[in-house]
Every structure is written in C-alpha cells, then in structure tokens.
Amino acid sequence: MNILILGYGKMGKIIGEIAESRGHTITAKINIDNREDLNTLDPSKVDVAIEFSQPEAAVDNITWAITRGIPVVSGTTGWLSRKGEIEALTKAQDGTFFYASNYSIGVNIFFKVNEFLAKLMNETSGYSASIEEIHHTEKKDAPSGTAITLAEGIIQNMDKLKEWQLSGHSSENEQTLPITSKRIDPAPGTHIIRYSSEIDQIEISHTAHSRQGFALGAVLVAEWIKGKKGVLSMDDFLSF
C-alpha cells in the first residue's frame, strides 16, 4: 500500500516507521516546510493519506486529498468546529474520510467503559463528574480531543449534564462537566474520569506509555479502509 503522510512531526515519523515495518511504501512525507511538494504529487500513486498535522493545517490537508480521490485517515485535533465541512465535502465527492480523536485500541475500549459507567451513574444521586487530562507540553490544543470524546460520552448518558467546559475558563454549574487540562513532559497522554461524592470517589483512567499505540492504530485503519466509502469512525473499524 502506498501511503501519503500529511504532517511529519513526531507522530508522523512513528507512523512512517510502523507502516514501512508492515511492508507499506511512504509515497511522500509532507510538513510545513515542503507542502509545495503536493503540487507535483501524482494522486494515482497514493492509496491512502494519513493526516496528523496541526489544527491550522488540517482542513487544507484533508480537502486536498478528498478532492483528489484519496481516502483520508485523520487524527489531528483542535479543528473540529469545521469537521462538518469536511464531512459534506466527502459526501459530495463520494470520498472516504475517517476521523478519530485517538487511534489507540485501548483508548477506544476506554471510551466504551466510560459510556457504560456514565449510564450507571445516571441512575445514582450525589455524585459530580469531572475529567482530568495530562499531555506533553508540545500539545497545543486543550482540552485534548480524547477528553472531548470522553466528555461527549458522559453527557450523552447523564441527563443532568448539558455541556463541558474547560475548568477555570468560565463559571461552572451542575449542568456543566468540568475538564482540567495539564501539560507536563514527557506524558504521552493520561485521561481520568472521576465521580465524587461526600461518601466516596470512583475513578477510571487510561495512561498511554508511548505514541506507539496511536500510530499503530492509524496504520491498521489505513489498511482496513481500502475500498470503503463515506464518513467513518472507530465504531465502524472496531464494530463493537
């Protein structure tokens, strides 16, 4: 399989190493310094693009690939206010767009555990929910995309919660799920869900030990996506 990497930072480099170890070819490695190389790249030589760039570059990168018939596997966070545009473009072009805030298989299992626990807590009074996420200092967006996905999973399953807010950035109330973001090196990513009451505290957490799990998941999705159309997600890939 011929893979185009859009965003050749730390994640892009690990993705490239894993892809090549699995017998794939990296057609091009694009970052902010050589984006003009896309002007001469032959789309017919690319089977899939894996996009892990920056929030300000994601929409342009994904649009470039979708309009040229290249399936996209994207993991960039911090740009999702425009995700609807990309989904509409994908449908209009009869293209393929796969997005996940986190490609780790373990994290996606954690998403399911989070939703199940939220359903249980919805039937229980006296607990307040919160999320804490910890990442390395190079991560620009806060809260993390994974934390937002976790928050959405809680809000969808707890009647009293209506929205999430980054803790300390606005007033919080009983209908708001607070998220605390910390940036501490060299943490690849820790997410903690807490339910606190006067009697006790319930916690579930996921801690990544490296970026390997994220990168491997993205490559596995790129292998799986061949021949598929439409807007896809980890639910489609994992088929829980």
Q: Both tokens of residue 61?
A: 């990168």
Q: Are 148 and 83 in contact (CB under 8 A)?
A: no
How high is the pLDDT of residue 106?
Answer: 92
Query: In the chain, what percentage of residues exceed pLDDT 90?
Result: 89
Find the catalytic residue in 24, 139, 191, 206. Answer: 139
pLDDT band at 174 (very low <50, low <70, confident <90, very high): confident
Q: Is 84 left (phi over 0), alpha (psi -120 to 50) or beta?
A: alpha
Query: pTM value?
Result: 0.82
pLDDT at 172 over 70: no
Q: In whole angstroms, what is the distance from residue 150 CA to residue 131 CA?
A: 8
pLDDT band at 48 (very low <50, low <70, confident <90, very high): very high
The stretch 148-154 carries a mean pLDDT of 97
Q: Peptide bond before 143: cis, by omega within 30 degrees of 0?
A: yes
The stretch 128-132 carries a mean pLDDT of 97
DSSP-assigned letters across all residues of 111-152: HHHHHHHHHHHHT--S-EEEEEEEE-TT--SSS-HHHHHHHH
Q: In whole angstroms, what is the distance from residue 145 CA to residue 85 CA?
A: 18
How high is the pLDDT of residue 173?
Answer: 83
pLDDT band at 154 (very low <50, low <70, confident <90, very high): very high
Cα 9–Cα 53–Cα 209 angle in degrees, nearest 5: 55
pLDDT at 171 over 60: no
Residue 191 bears catalytic tag = no
Find the catalytic residue in 24, 135, 191, 206. Answer: 135
Pairing of strands 189-196, 2-6: unpaired
- Tell me the C-alpha to C-alpha distance, in Å, between residue 211 and each of 56, 124, 135, 207: 22, 36, 11, 11
Kindly list the structural domains of the chain, giving each domain's residue range(s) and its CATH number in brackets, ordered by start: 2-99+212-238 (3.40.50.720), 105-208 (3.30.360.10)
pLDDT band at 76 (very low <50, low <70, confident <90, very high): very high
**Stretch (H or E) spanning 234:** helix 234-238
The amino acid present at 95, given as its one-letter code, is: G
Residue 135 bears catalytic tag = yes
Higher confidence at residue 197 or residue 210? 197
Mean pLDDT, the chain, whole residue set: 94
Q: Which tens digits make up the pLDDT trace of 90-123? A: 999 999 999 998 999 899 999 999 999 999 999 9
How high is the pLDDT of residue 170?
Answer: 53
